[in-house]
Amino acid sequence: MEGKTDLASLAINSTAPAPVSVTLEADKESLETVPAPEETPKEEVSVSKVAWVESDECTSCNDCINAVPNVFKYNSNKQAHVHNPKGDTYAKIVAAAEKCPAMCIHPGLPHDPNEPGLEKLLKRAEKYQ
Ligand code: SF4
């Protein structure tokens, strides 16, 4: 009966860790070895120095023509274009870009460095460049 005694002894002296704790340890290890994701560099956006319109996208809604007629005019296809980028304030050009339903007005950069509130205007213009 020696074999029976050995089996009982093994069962009592078993020190195997509970399955749950083994799994948690393994997960913790794998998390610690995962390298942190590298920061992706910001995409560079080139900005035009002057306001411009993607005329092909213009739906001829008249908004920019009515609001800033000294800057925007229709071309022969009745689609807006910039005929004078210095024809009005940067504030009005940015507002026209914000209002354009086709989002085809790009304000470019201010032509007057002394226009009030340029910092905020440039921020607002960012998403339309
Ligand atoms: S606001 Fe936009 S869609 Fe309307 S006329 Fe001007 S460029 Fe065209």
- pLDDT for position 42: 63
Helix (H, G, I), strand (E, B) or coil at 24: helix
**Does the beta carbon of 67 lie inside 6 Å of ligand 1?**
no
Does residue 45 form part of some domain? no
- pLDDT for position 61: 98
Closest-CA residue to 121 (of 88, 91, 99): 91
Does residue 20 form part of some domain? no
**Does the beta carbon of 118 lie inside 6 Å of ligand 1?**
no
Cβ contact 80:64 at 8 Å: yes
Does residue 77 form part of some domain? yes
Helix (H, G, I), strand (E, B) or coil at 72: strand
Report how far ligand 1's centroid is from the alpha carbon of 89 (Å).
Answer: 18
Residues 27-82: pLDDT tens digits? Answer: 555 445 555 556 666 667 689 999 999 999 999 999 999 999 999 999 999 999 99
What residues contact residue 25 under an 8 Å CB cut-off, 6+ apart?
none
Name the residue range of residue 64's domain.
Answer: 52-128
**Does the beta carbon of 97 lie inside 6 Å of ligand 1?**
no
Ligand 1: residue whose CA is nearest its atom 1: 100
**Does the beta carbon of 71 lie inside 6 Å of ligand 1?**
no
CATH code for the domain of 100:
3.30.70.20
What residues contact residue 45 under an 8 Å CB cut-off, 6+ apart?
129
Does residue 8 form part of some domain? no
Does residue 76 form part of some domain? yes
90-114 average pLDDT score: 98
What is the share, in percent, of the chain residues with pLDDT greater than 90? Answer: 64
- pLDDT for position 1: 44
- pLDDT for position 46: 84
Identify the DSSP state of 106: E
Residue 74 host element (H or E): strand 72-74
Closest-CA residue to 81 (of 102, 101, 108, 104): 104
Does residue 92 form part of some domain? yes
Cβ contact 92:84 at 8 Å: no
